[in-house]
Amino acid sequence: MADKSVLLTADGLKKLQEKLDHLKSVKRLEVADRLKAAIALGDLSENSEYDDAKNEQAFLEGEIAELEEKIRHAKIIENSADSNVVSMGSKIVLKDLEFNETDEYLLVGSTEADPDEGKISNESPVGAAIIGKSVGEVVEVHVGENIINYEIMEIKH
C-alpha cells in the first residue's frame, strides 16, 4: 500500500481510528491475558492454547499495522464545488431503467465501501461509471457479462 492514498470520509476515518484504539487498548490486553494463562499451563512445546494465543496475537498485530498504515495515508474526501456533478462523497439516487427501481448510494473510497450500508467505492463498476456525471444522464455499467443502465436522478452533497 506504499504511497497510495486511502480515500475516506471524515466519518470513515473516525471509525478506523476507533477500531484501532479498541484493538490496541482492549484486544491486545485480552490476547496478552490468554498468553499468560497458556504459559501458566506449562510445557509450551505441546500447548495448543499457547499456539492459538500466539497466532491470534500475530493476526491482531497485523490488523493493527494495516489500520495504522491506512490512517497514515488517509485523505479526507472533500465535496466537489460543483454540486451538479457526481464526485467523491456525493449521495446519488440511481434508477435502474430495466426494473424501474431507485437506490441511494454514498460514493466513498474502497476502504470504506459497504454495499449493505449503501456505500459504494469509486473503484466499483457503478462508482466508476457515475463519477463526473450529472443528473439526468444515463450510464451503462458492465457487471460481468451483463449491462445495467442507470439514470442519475439526484445528487446530494
Give 82-138 pLDDT, tens digit per residue: 678 998 889 999 999 999 999 999 999 988 999 999 999 999 999 999 999 999 999
Cβ neighbours for 50, distance < 8 A, ≥ 6 positions apart: 35, 38, 39, 41, 44
Is 42 within the bounds of a domain? Answer: yes
Q: 110 and 53, same structural domain?
A: no
Per the structure, the complete domain to which residue 56 belongs is given by 6-76
Q: 43 and 103, same structural domain?
A: no
> Taking the model in full, what pTM does it have?
0.71
With a cut of 70, say whether residue 81 has pLDDT above it: no
81, 152 in Cβ contact below 8 A? no
Confidence band (pLDDT; 50, 70, 90) for 79?
A: low
Q: What are the residues facing 150 on neighbouring strands?
A: 96, 139
Structural domains in the chain (count): 2
In this prediction, residue 48 carries a pLDDT of 84
pLDDT in tens, 12-50: 899 999 999 999 999 999 999 999 988 887 777 777 888
CATH number at residue 23: 1.10.287.180
Q: Where are the alpha helices (DSSP H) in 73-107?
A: none
- The C-alpha cell 437506490 sits at 103
84/29 Cα distance (integer angstroms): 49
Is 128 within the bounds of a domain? Answer: yes
